[in-house]
Amino acid sequence: MTDLSAVKTALKSQEIETPSWGYGNSGTRFKVFAQPGVPRDPFEKLDDAAQVHAATGVAPLVSLHIPWDAVDDYAELAAHAKERGLRLGAINANTFQEDDYKLGSVTHPDPKVRRKAVDHLLECVDIMDATGSRDLKLWFADGTNYPGQDDITARQERLAEALSEVYARLGEDQRMVLEYKLFEPAFYTTDVPDWGTSYAHCLKLGPRAKVVVDTGHHAPGTNIEFIVAFLLREGRLGAFDFNSRFYADDDLMVGSADPFQLFRILHEVAKNGGFEKEQEVAFMLDQCHNIEAKIPAVIRSVMNVQEATAKALLVDLDALRAAQAAGDVLGANAVLMDAYNTDVRPLLREVREEQGLDPDPLAAYAATGWQDHIVATRVGGTQAGWGA
């Protein structure tokens, strides 16, 4: 039998990191729909993130994106976070939004552009020093659109060179986490297209380089839980970027498209010790809220991760292992499905009450009146959004 009090303890100590860009305006290549009350700067994004943490109790970390969240004084931003019970999480670098990067950033054929990109990554480590952030999160839009456009192996060389310069700059308690993505914006080759490429670079760099699994960055039908299990076994799972997709990299709310997949992933995390603090797996959201209200959407996402986590923790591992050892195919599958089919909402309500929280985070947020407050007071200025 599963130890229910251990499950509750694990749920209470879970930390989910929310993305600063999830509070700003976002959209598709067709249209960005603005919403009233959206933050104008990173300080206001943190104010919104604090509402998510207040309602859920498990979202104390916020990922920043540079330069979208660039400020003059990062220590001041970190202090602003601390006053609200938050910490600054991963620093996400951006080497994809400038004209210079048309043909790539760290893999660009021109050494001057590569220098500029690497200098930006080094600047991000300076920012980590000021914010106390542990992780430099790297996702490169680098790749090519046409066969013959550039040399695939030369681009790998350039990538390795850039990564090793940045890795050497990291402090002892800092990490580099390298994200992969199958395609987009490049359509022919992508320079870090899959977990194997990321893993191979991380292995060469050293123990503080780890892989980021963004759930939206795979070919349809990819078995993501296998990747998670493999990386955990190798000690190279650095972080998740959780989101949902139906077709491409949709960045919808985590758990909305395929809650069973999220459960299967988190089952591998639970079974392989990935929820233990010393494993240092970061559980981040990387999603955009194009048509739904942003703060409630982040709260909903946090709840979806909690529900999948609770189900994963409820798997009776003794019974599962006994069935597996006995070759009991149906029995083993039934153990897993019993946990998945458990309605964990009453358990999570109980957990929240024991933490002194409202059992219903969305109702709790609605009752604060924060939404009316930000709509009324955030007037003028420029709303945060893509490219801002």
Quickly count: other Cβ atoms within 10 Å of residue 306's Cβ.
25
- What's the min distance (Å) between Cβ of 225 and Mn ion? 18
Nearer Cβ to Mn ion (286/307): 286
Q: Which span sits near Mn ion by CB under 5 A: 148-156, 247-255, 256-264, 279-287?
A: 279-287
Q: Are 102 and 77 in contact (CB under 8 A)?
A: no
> Could you say which DSSP state residue 57 is in?
S
Cα distance between residue 64 and residue 105, in whole Å:
20
- What's the min distance (Å) between Cβ of 357 and Mn ion? 28
Closest C-alpha to 282, from 133, 65, 107? 133
If binding is defined by CB under 5 A, does position 17 make contact with Mn ion? no
- What's the min distance (Å) between Cβ of 137 and Mn ion? 8
Nearer Cβ to Mn ion (304/371): 304
Q: Which span sits near Mn ion by CB under 5 A: 126-134, 160-168, 235-243, 315-323?
A: 235-243
Quickly count: other Cβ atoms within 10 Å of residue 272's Cβ.
18
Nearer Cβ to Mn ion (52/138): 138
Instruction: For the chain, state the CA radius of gyration.
Output: 21
Task: Determine which residue in the list 69, 191, 214, 307 makes contact with Mn ion, applying CB under 5 A.
Answer: 214
> CA geometry: angle at 157 spanning 154 and 163, to 5°?
140
The reply to whether omega before 111 is within 30° of 0 (cis) is no
Joined tokens for residue 262: 């999220």
Q: Are 287 and 251 in contact (CB under 8 A)?
A: yes
Task: Determine which residue in the list 41, 47, 69, 286 makes contact with Mn ion, applying CB under 5 A.
Answer: 286
Return the residue matching tokens 């080094």: 122
Quickly count: other Cβ atoms within 10 Å of residue 67's Cβ.
15
Nearer Cβ to Mn ion (57/193): 193
- What's the min distance (Å) between Cβ of 216 and Mn ion? 7
Q: Which span sits near Mn ion by CB under 5 A: 10-18, 28-36, 44-52, 280-288?
A: 280-288
Q: Which span sits near Mn ion by CB under 5 A: 26-34, 213-221, 310-318, 370-378?
A: 213-221
- What's the min distance (Å) between Cβ of 348 and Mn ion? 26
Nearer Cβ to Mn ion (214/358): 214
Sign of CA dihedral 150, 109, 153, 106: negative
Nearer Cβ to Mn ion (227/347): 227
Closest C-alpha to 2, from 317, 375, 347? 317
Closest C-alpha to 370, from 294, 302, 304? 294
Nearer Cβ to Mn ion (140/365): 140
Q: How many residues make contact with Mn ion (CB under 5 A)?
A: 3
Q: Which span sits near Mn ion by CB under 5 A: 147-155, 190-198, 282-290, 354-362?
A: 282-290
Give the contacts of 28 (CB within 8 A, at least 6 positions apart).
Answer: 290
Nearer Cβ to Mn ion (68/370): 68
Q: Which span sits near Mn ion by CB under 5 A: 30-38, 234-242, 273-281, 344-352?
A: 234-242
Cα distance between residue 69 and residue 67, in whole Å:
5
Report the interface residues with Mn ion, using CB under 5 A: 214, 241, 286
